[in-house]
Chain A
Amino acid sequence: MGGAGALVFLFVFPKGSISTLVHVLHLPGPGAGIVLIFGPFLILVVITSSLLILARGGALIASLTFAVTYTLAVRLFGIATDPKGAFGSISFIAAVTLFGLVAEAIIALGGALSQLFRSVLTGALANAVLLVFYWLVIFPRTVGWVRWKDIPLLMGICLIGGLVAGYIAWRVSGPLCRVIKQKE
């Protein structure tokens, strides 16, 4: 699922589409594209995979596969990506791996919580960690530091986007699980 998700992301969001969407929505940057599109997409892929597999390490493996497949596809086919997001670079792999680690940790630690609450919490926190990593490691090299006044708005969008994506992933995983069980 991680590999398929990476190819879908590459297909749906060509170079310049995310930054243009952010521009159209008049959102501040840097980070709006990450919290609004890339993070929620990653949450959908990673949490759905984890809920379908129901085994330890599902989220981490899905995110690693996503990062590696995306990077390989970009390098092999020479697909142009947005340089601001550093998609397909080593720091991109590090960001997605960190995202997977955080998601895996929350899923493992929140065993007592309900599946819905765990998915929503994982979505929000993993999206926040991804945004902070981009702000501290990637954006200073590509675009520049985020302005203090933009942080509350971007963090708010990040948490809401993560919650919504986590909820959608939980909703989608139910019917998918049933389909897989029927086939088995």
Chain B
Amino acid sequence: MCGLVDFEALQTCITRLAALLVAGISGYAVCKAISFYRERNLKRERQEEEVLSPLPCGLAVRDSGERSNS
């Protein structure tokens, strides 16, 4: 495919490729950050559930706390 030489087209090609690469990396980073925060929140929720699970009802803890405060 040698013959036609157009350096402007090659420059456009490299610029667009770089732009797509940057967009891809940014998108990947955003997705990673979102999944990281989701996992962290999920872990925190699970830990809270584990703390409350030995009691007959989770609400019992809050009730007793409210009573002691009042």
- By a beta-carbon cutoff of 8 Å, the part of chain A in contact with chain B is 8, 11-24, 27-34, 82, 84-85, 143, 179, 182
Contacts and interface: CB of A to CB of B under 8 A. Distances in A.
Interface of B: 1-10, 12-13, 16-17, 20, 31, 35
Nearest to B1: A33
Nearest to A20: B10
A29 B7 CA distance: 18
Contacts, number: 67
A16 to B, nearest CB: 3
Contact of A24 (B4, B8, B10, B16): B10
Residue in A23, A24, A182 whose Cβ sees the most chain B Cβ within 10 Å:
A23
Contacts of B12: 14, 17
B37 to A, nearest CB: 14
B1 A16 contact: no
Given A16-B9, A16-B10, A24-B10, 17 more contacts: A8-B20, A11-B20, A12-B16, A12-B17, A14-B13, A15-B9, A16-B4, A16-B8, A17-B12, A20-B4, A20-B5, A20-B9, A29-B1, A32-B1, A84-B1, A85-B1, A179-B31
Contacts of A17: 6, 9-10, 12-13
A97 B5 CA distance: 29
A interface secondary structure, majority: helix
A21 B10 contact: yes
Contact of B1 (A11, A14, A82, A182): A82
Nearest to B17: A12
A172 to B, nearest CB: 10
Contacts of B2: 19, 22-23, 27-30, 32
Nearest to B7: A20
20 contacts: A11-B20, A12-B17, A12-B20, A13-B13, A16-B4, A16-B8, A17-B10, A17-B12, A19-B2, A19-B6, A20-B5, A20-B10, A22-B1, A22-B2, A24-B10, A27-B2, A30-B1, A34-B1, A84-B1, A182-B35
